[in-house]
Amino acid sequence: MDTYLRLAIQKKGRLSDDSLSLLKECGIKFSNGTGKLMAASRNFPIEFLFLRDDDIPGYVADGVADIGIAGENVVLEKNKNVSIVKRLGFSKCRLSLAIPKGHTYEGLTYFNGKSIATSYPNILGQFLQQNSINAEIHEISGSVEIAPGIGLAEAICDLVSTGSTLLSNGLKEVETVLRSEAVLIAGESLTEAKQSILNNLLFRLESVQEGRNNKYILLNAPNEKLDEIISYLPGMRSPTIMPLAQKGWSSLHSVINEDAFWEVIENLKKAGAEGILVVPIEKMIK
Ligand code: ATP
Ligand code: ZN
């Protein structure tokens, strides 16, 4: 029988769309009929298991799935026997402490003797312990943000992305407990065949991520400025330089990193670059 790597992903929710589109960008084709629990890829030895996100670390630890995509927050909270093999860069959010808007906040000691509602008792408990804060944790499974309003707790610890839910419940964010993003997790012992499929998947994920983090840039420059312009363009090796029909001018092609993007563009313009074109890269193989 052929070996398949079994990947657990969230059935429906904030992780689903980005997980599926990342896999598609990796060239992995499959059809996910709605309501199905499992699907297999048509062109890559991988099977999908569609689950609730909370169950993913446990299924991977038990070996029902070989790997999984889940929020780091859930992975740390469940504390199962799995390891993070890749950070995926989407579903970014933070787990934060929030208190009633009107209260003054002067530091973590605010929480001494207070009760805090959360769905993340383990992560919060560890955080409080590390900071020597003595607070009471109320574990609740949903709608944590309404807890102070109904008198269930004096503060909350919950996931935040923009903070608008907090504001509309009369709360303000005062401390970040954890920064989270989607991560790829794996169980402890994969067979050699499965490990080799995972390595292939990781290679594809890296090529897609590198492509997203870089841009292809083309520009024209007077020849006497080339040295200065090249000094701003690291490229994969060095820029490609081609003569233009117009005498004394060249066309230059290179790759630049998204992080340094605007700074590089400003330097290039100052150095005399013209007709700068920036093009997205679909995949980048190192
Ligand atoms: P399930 O039905 O699978 O249990 P859920 O309601 O528990 O779903 P979602 O709300 O879909 O979970 O969130 C899944 C994950 O997405 C979270 O664990 C977290 O990692 C991330 N996430 C949560 N809130 C946000 C947000 N506001 N912005 C971005 N990512 C978020
Ligand atoms: Zn969930």
Sketch the domain layout of the chain as residue ranges. 5-91+181-211, 93-180, 214-280
Query: Closest ligand 1 atom to the C-alpha of 10?
Result: 3
Give 216's strand partners.
255, 279
The residue among 5 and 235 whose pLDDT is bigger is: 5
* pLDDT tens for each residue of 76-123: 999 999 999 999 999 999 999 999 999 999 999 999 999 999 999 999
**5-91+181-211: CATH, from 3.40.190.10, 3.40.50.150, 3.40.50.620, 3.60.15.10:** 3.40.190.10
Which of 4, 2, 5 shows the shortest CA–CA distance to 187? 5
Query: Closest ligand 1 atom to the C-alpha of 14?
Result: 11
Fold of 93-180: D-Maltodextrin-Binding Protein; domain 2 (3.40.190)
Cα Rg for the chain, rounded, in angstroms?
25
Query: Closest ligand 1 atom to the C-alpha of 73?
Result: 20
| Residue 235 in this model has a pLDDT that exceeds 70 | no
**Residue 88 and residue 181 in contact, taking contact as beta carbons nearer than 8 Å:** yes
Q: CA 250 to CA 271: how far, in whole Å?
A: 14
Mean pLDDT over 181-201 rounds to 96
In this chain, the answer to whether the domains covering 5-91+181-211 and 214-280 adopt an identical fold is: no
- Determine the pLDDT at residue 62: 97
71 lines ligand 1 (CB under 6 A): yes
96 lines ligand 1 (CB under 6 A): no
CATH architecture of 214-280: 2-Layer Sandwich (3.30)
- Distance (angstroms) between ligand 2 centre and the Cα of 54 equals 5
Which of 264, 237, 234, 240 shows the shortest CA–CA distance to 253? 240
Tell me which residues have their CB within 5 A of the ion that is ligand 2. 53-54
pTM over 0.85: yes
Q: Place 151 in a pLDDT band, splitting at 50, 70 and 90.
A: very high
